[in-house]
Structure 1
């Protein structure tokens, strides 16, 4: 069954949706995006995602086409129209169509708005159901505005290719000797029962799941620290986690083909994962 998408005011079968070849998102990657999860058809941390979308639009000078209530209506309607109790919603706003092609753009273009949804198979965060992942460190070759969730992802695409060629699951990016983030995730490490994550900068995206980890730490009394993290610290960590909207919290047990800590899923990850599952269950009555 073909899924339903939203494109510029219309609900369409996915295979019938099309944008102009002169859309600046297509020609230049002049667009921003968000990925939002629905558990049991209930949106998770929608306000935080829309706040980040608003910031990305503001930083790029793209007009925000909707207010928060309009966005909520569209996203909830999209979920209703598509299959799956758990869904991953993709939302993209480009600067719009501008012809002829040129780097400079006219003011007051009408943004192109696109939303789609896919069923998402989620496992419990319990360690018995989680496959630990491996990671490699890579030099960060992306542009210096990683704080904007832009569709200009060629750098990440090339880095991800290196990851797969190495046989690993994810790459942890290093810039000038300091840990940044994964190719599509935020990074946490544990050392002596303290949770540590790199502080936000122009080349690190403020992850919605990353912020949720902070909230859980404060709620359950876990020690967390946000600061610069060096590559040697990462290599010497007792545990490493990767967080993202769709993967939630992933434990890394191998870094650069060497074990992380004991080489097993760590005890603090198990504790945090249980808190994550508990919170989802509280919000949406999700069985865990």
Structure 2
């Protein structure tokens, strides 16, 4: 069955899904996006994802392309048209079509809305979590507003490619002070030698990960200690455990960093517990 996309008010076949050449998302990466996991027909953390999308649009002074209720309806209809129950739903909003100029266009401008969805194997993700993943550290060369989920992702792409070439699943980004910020497309966590769960605070211009927030709630509910603070790449290498979170990786143990095993090179008890808590939350 051919896939269906949504482009500015119309449901169209994927191979006919186009935007104008003067769309500012194409010209300047002047856009924002969200990726929502859909498991057994349920959109996971739908409201927080929409909260973040609206915040990103607000920070960039974009006009909402449709109302929030309309976007939720489009999401459901798009999944139905593609007959998907386990999928990734992609939502992208750009400032719209205008004559190419760096400054914001004058006057009323209609934002562009593009949405796609594709089948996704969450079972494979859960299986991978049983053995964990390898990661590699890369310098964080991104812009200073990483709290906005913008489509300007070239530094992330370069970091992810470097990780892939190093035989790793993900790139762990490291700032100029030698501290871990986040992954190229994930939030990064460690468990220190006291059993405390540690992750970088949002005030440091870290993307407010939706799965990150869910994991914090689950950890607090089950009396797992959490500390939001900076930690160095060397501290991470010496950690008792490491793991990452995202809409696509869910909760994923890290067993190797830059070729060195984390602890005994196997998923630890805290990460394993949080993986199970997350899948219980997701209903899988």
Matches within 5 A, 1:75-114: 75-99=75-99, 101-107=100-106, 108-114=108-114
Q: CA separation in 1, counterparts of 2:49 and 2:2?
A: 26
Number of the residue aligned with 2:46: 46
Distance 1:271 1:263, change over 3 A: same
Secondary structure at 2:58 match in 1: helix
Q: Displacement of 1:127 after TM fit?
A: 6.4
- Hey, what does 2:181 align to over in structure 1? 180
Q: CA shift at 1:124, angstroms?
A: 7.2
Structure 2 gap segments, 5+ residues each: none
Matched positions, count: 281
- CA deviation after TM superposition for structure 1 residue 21, in Å: 0.5
1:31 aligns with 2:45: no
Q: What do the CA deviations read for 1:51-110 (whole angstroms, capped 9, x no partner)?
A: 0001100111111122321121111111111133211000000000012x2212313211
CA contact (8 A) 1:242 1:251 kept: yes
2:250 is aligned to: 248
The DSSP-based 3-state class of the residue aligned with 1:252 is strand
Tell whether 2:248 aligns with 1:265: no
In structure 2, the residue matched to 1:217 is 219
> Is 190-199 or 25-34 further displaced after alignment?
190-199
Separation in 1, partners of 2:49, 2:125? 22
TM-score (ref. length: structure 1) = 0.93
Deviation at 1:12, TM superposition (A): 0.6
| Structure 1: tracts of 5 or more residues without a match | none
Structure 1 segments of 4+ aligned residues over 6 angstroms from their partners: none
Q: TM-score, normalised by structure 2?
A: 0.95
Q: CA RMSD in A?
A: 1.5
Is contact 1:38–1:44 with CA below 8 Å preserved after alignment? yes
Q: Distance in 1 between matches of 2:127 and 2:13?
A: 38
